[in-house]
Amino acid sequence: MLIARRVWAILLGLAASSLACLAAADEIPTEGYRLGQGYPINSTGLRIGGYTSLHAEAPRNGPWRFELSDLSLFLTWQANDRLRFFSELEAGDAFTATEGGRSGGHEARFELERLYGDLLINGSATIRFGKFLTPVGRWNLLHADPLVWTSTRPVATENLFSKHATGLMLFGNLPLFERRLEYQVYADLTRSLDPHRSENPFDNAAGVHALYGLSERLQIGASYLSFELNADRRRRQHLVGLEAIWRHHRYELSTEWVYRTPQDQGPSLWQGFAQGVAPIAGDWYAVGRYELFEQRGDLGTGQAGVFGLAYRPLPPLVVKFEYRLGTHNQQTAPDGFYTSFAVLF
């Protein structure tokens, strides 16, 4: 408990300082800039933005850790009405401090998270070429810490597929039963276009993602992905995903589930979560999530529950506090306190 209080105190102090800086900055008019929407550079078509997040954690069976986990820079260039370029450069773990006294930037890493160009064909179709977020479910596409409700990421959103793809995508929306069907069809060509990319478990992939609004409040979606594992190219793997999100006023319920076919001498795997968000007072929200995830080897089927609070005074800014506990989860999603401050600028 002492460790948890120490970590929370650190982050609360940083969050309070950040909020004070934002409040002071808000008093100074900045033409053309709105928090969370980036800064346009005159009439060049360029816009600079990004986000940053501070994380602290105190696992029940491990040392506490504090880190400046993400510092991402977005650069968008709208060349004309049909052509747009986007890039995201990220510095991860730029500063860390741990219970053992280690601190500094020795774990810092720089990565080109996204780099692509979009060519508008017509009002229903756009071609994208480059490195982009893999369209499996909703969480992976949101991507930025300020846009999600918890400091911890659900296991199902990062454990069974690569978070990025490099290749070609066709996306857009089509009319269907008086509403619009959003779609993404893509092919990953990493081996040819980005052979040295880190954290890439698959290659030679092809997939599709679709999202449909049944009403103004409810959306449902599905994903399919076929790929080769870099570690095992003897057979193709297949992944199927389902998702749904319901919103009413400031309430939100969401769920995502993925299934991946078995590897040689390995099991098929099911993983997923259900999450709820409810306003409790002013800009404070209660957040709860249940996760279920099958694991490789003899780790068994893991379960985890996340119980937390989120303070969101502005849409691009959020402070989060949560506790996670579960069974057969220590390798993948360990019990403990987690907290963070994130802002989209």
How many angstroms from the chain centroid is the CA of residue 189? 22
Q: Closest Cα partner for 66 from 33, 92, 95? A: 95
Q: Identify the residue with better confidence: 26 or 61.
A: 61
How many angstroms from the chain centroid is the CA of residue 202? 19
For residues 181-220, b (16+ Cβ closer than 10 Å) or e, as one string?
Answer: ebbbbbebbbeeebeebeebbbbbbbbebbbbbeeeeebe
The pLDDT of residue 107 is: 60
CA pair distance 294, 245, nearest whole angstrom: 23
CATH of the domain at 324: 2.40.160.10
As a dihedral over the C-alpha atoms of residue 71, residue 120, residue 135, residue 142, rounded to 10 degrees, the angle is 40
- Expressed as residue numbers, the domain containing 244 is 2-344
pLDDT for 103-128, tens place per residue? Answer: 555 566 778 889 999 999 998 999 99
pLDDT for 150-189, tens place per residue? Answer: 999 999 998 888 888 999 999 999 999 989 999 999 998 8
- Total tally of structural domains belonging to the chain: 1
